[in-house]
Amino acid sequence: MTEVSRAGADTPVQRLTGPEIAEFLEEVFPGSMENFTIEAVEPMRARIRMPFRPYRLRPGGTISGPSLMALADTGLWVALLAMIGREALSVTSHLDIDFLRKPAPADVIAHTTLHKLGRRLAVGDVIMYSDGETVPCARASVTYAIPSSYRG
């Protein structure tokens, strides 16, 4: 995940670190840090882990769809929060997800990339892997509406 730092002068500046985001998330969504671990944050990128919990299983021993959707949503939100800071509470306006393979009963890791950080909308991609796998179990893209109080 060093590619972004090469992007140069036009790369937006990161405002929050991973631990600062974790603290903020726990504040506004108490308990969320039991469900997700922020592993890495860079400008326009983040890596989030969803630890395995038996209650996320579906019949057949697979992780539930809504759990993966929540991971995609939260994971890219972390990358967004890093850029716009804690004063702006953006909301998800669109999410689409493709379930590619049955995820194993294990942690799932989301690699998230913001492609656009506009004044009104932010858009990015998420690729999710079962822990230890090299082929993804799901992909998603998410759009967030940024409140008009945010001015870049």
Using CB under 8 A, which of 92, 104, 105, 107 touches a second copy? Answer: 92
User: Based on CB atoms, which residue is closest to a second copy, 16 or 128?
Assistant: 128
Burial class (CB in 10 A: 0-12, 13-18, 19+), 75: buried
Sign of the Cα torsion 66, 141, 36, 26 reads negative
Region of 13-21, 45-53, 103-111, 130-138 interacting with a second copy (CB under 8 A)? 130-138
Neighbours of 44 (CB within 10 A): 23
- Residue 29 as a binder of a second copy (CB under 8 A): the answer is yes
Work out whether 91 is an interface residue with a second copy (CB under 8 A): yes
Tell me if 99 contacts a second copy by CB under 8 A: yes
Q: Would you count residue 96 as binding a second copy (CB under 8 A)? A: yes
With 0-12 CB in 10 A as exposed, 13-18 as middle and 19+ as buried, what is 43? middle
| Nearest CB to a second copy, comparing residues 37 and 92 | 92
Does 87 participate in binding a second copy (rule CB under 8 A)? no
Closest CA to 107 of 78, 128, 126: 128
Using rule CB under 8 A, residue 139 touches a second copy: yes
Which is nearest to 71 in space by CA: 51, 90, 87? 51
CB of 112 to a second copy, least distance (A): 13
Do the Cβ atoms of 138 and 99 come closer than 8 Å?
yes
Residue 31 has what DSSP assignment?
T
Could you list the residues that contact a second copy (CB under 8 A)?
Answer: 7-8, 10, 28-29, 58-59, 65-67, 69-70, 73, 91-101, 115-116, 120-121, 123, 125, 127, 134-136, 139, 141, 143, 145
